[in-house]
Amino acid sequence: MKRNLIRILGLFLLFTTIQSCKKEDSASIDLTKYVDNPVANAALDNWLKATFLDPYNMDVIYRYSDFYKDNDKVVSPVNPANVQPQMQTVLEGFIDPYKKVAGIPFIKKMLPKEWVLYGSGAYQTDGSMILATASAGKRVTIYDLNNFDANNADGVTRKLRTIHHEFTHILNQLVAMPTDFQTITKSTYAATWTTVSDATARDNGYVSPYASSQPGEDFAETTAHLLVLGQAWFDARANASTTVGKAALKAKEASVVQYFTINLGVDFRALQREVQNVVRNTYKLPSASFPYWIGQGLFKNITIDLSKPVYASSGISTNFSAAYQASVTAVAAVGNANRKLNYIRLDFISTTAANLYLNYTNTAGSTFDALYALNMTFNSTTGATKFTAGTPRDTTTPWTNATVIQAGAQPLINYLTGSNFIADWMPANISTDNYNSYAGFYVSGTPSNYFYGLLGQTAL
């Protein structure tokens, strides 16, 4: 009997070890520099109670206990000073977005009831470090909090990504992940993920090497990356992949969106928007900014057509609208030909050059293109942008057409070259459906003077 009990316990421990999530990072720790018996902290305890326990029945366990970890793992206690900053991230980057999109009943039913915190990482025999685990559909254990720095945007968002990853596991325990997801890259899953390079993982259709370990981790990784690193990051990774890899990544994205929106009743795009608002505006992650992705070459152009419904619903600045309408009038007036300006586009040739493109039709209904060269001084960190008039880049038809309707384009050229701009995601009130698709520029020091348009990832 005793022997059978030992065997059962051994199998249980093996199973729970296999189920835990391994994340990359290999390092050594010195347990002697950590205090393993934190004293009572009344202010912290009161904050945790008021913020998590009272409203959501969530218990945050930060005092060291062997009960919540595997017996073969050696971990250190968390520094109490890091508890509130970490849990503030959980609140604003995880709980609040779900609260806004899914509502309090969803939070009380689905979100984990126990948050266990440890100071160091839990290390595997292969040298990889466990950053977090989810278990029993109710508990998330977070490791490595003694290295948490609330002022390090990369570190904060990495931890937030781990939290969303682990919660996805909990959701999958409650509502099974889609079966179609599991077949998208079925042939390339491998337990030896630590030997897979990021480039290989990307080209095979994964957001990370760890995602290639098995379908459950792949689904959680895909979800977390879409939410925390954002759509631009995901699109850039897909674009940099192989044809097969890109198709796989986009198929996985569609499966994740459907799982949340249909199976869980949670609008994934709305959730993505709420998480991204925190990542962009609170944590200010550099790689979440619009200027960063112009610099990386992801976005090739911005198309502006003020007749589109988005401008009626989300607005446009009076300054830009005046310049645009002035060009509409001026294009029609050139040679009394009554040409019609249809839309304009700002093409990013590089970080030092852009073209202003005008699309117009004549009275016979024929469509024409006109191109105007702009020099551009651009800072991919701050978004600071200055346009100046350039010279024609060649003598093809769009450039000669530009000469014909020069007077018509001049109000827009004057607007673009007359101010210093800041590139940014905008407008703030844009609909969830358009949230990932629009951005623009505002005049430095005058945010009320701006223009924005539909983003394009293909050079035209």
- In whole angstroms, give the CA distance from residue 157 to residue 92: 12
- In whole angstroms, give the CA distance from residue 141 to residue 90: 12
pLDDT value of residue 35: 45
Assigned CATH for 21-285: 3.40.390.70
pLDDT value of residue 127: 63
3-state secondary structure of 358: strand
- In whole angstroms, give the CA distance from residue 38 to residue 2: 37
The pTM of the full predicted model, rounded to 2 decimals, is 0.89
- In whole angstroms, give the CA distance from residue 273 to residue 267: 10
Could you say which residues of the chain have pLDDT below 50? 1-20, 22-29, 31, 34-38
What's the token pair of residue 238?
């897909």
pLDDT tens digits, one per residue of 120-159: 887 766 667 788 888 877 899 999 999 999 999 999 999 9
Q: What is the DSSP letter of 385?
A: E
pLDDT value of residue 72: 64
Q: Residues 370, 358: contact at Cβ < 8 Å?
A: yes
pLDDT value of residue 412: 99
- In whole angstroms, give the CA distance from residue 275 to residue 228: 6
Element (H, E) at 78: none
- In whole angstroms, give the CA distance from residue 349 to residue 357: 12
pLDDT value of residue 71: 65
| DSSP β-ladder status, 59-61 and 132-135 | unpaired
Cα 199–Cα 201–Cα 205 angle in degrees, nearest 5:
115
Helix-, strand-, coil-residue percentages of the chain, each rounded to 5 = 50, 20, 30
pLDDT value of residue 136: 76
Question: Could you state, in order of their start, the residue ranges of all structural domains in the chain?
Answer: 21-285, 292-456
Strands (E) in 233-352, as ranges, are 301-304, 340-348
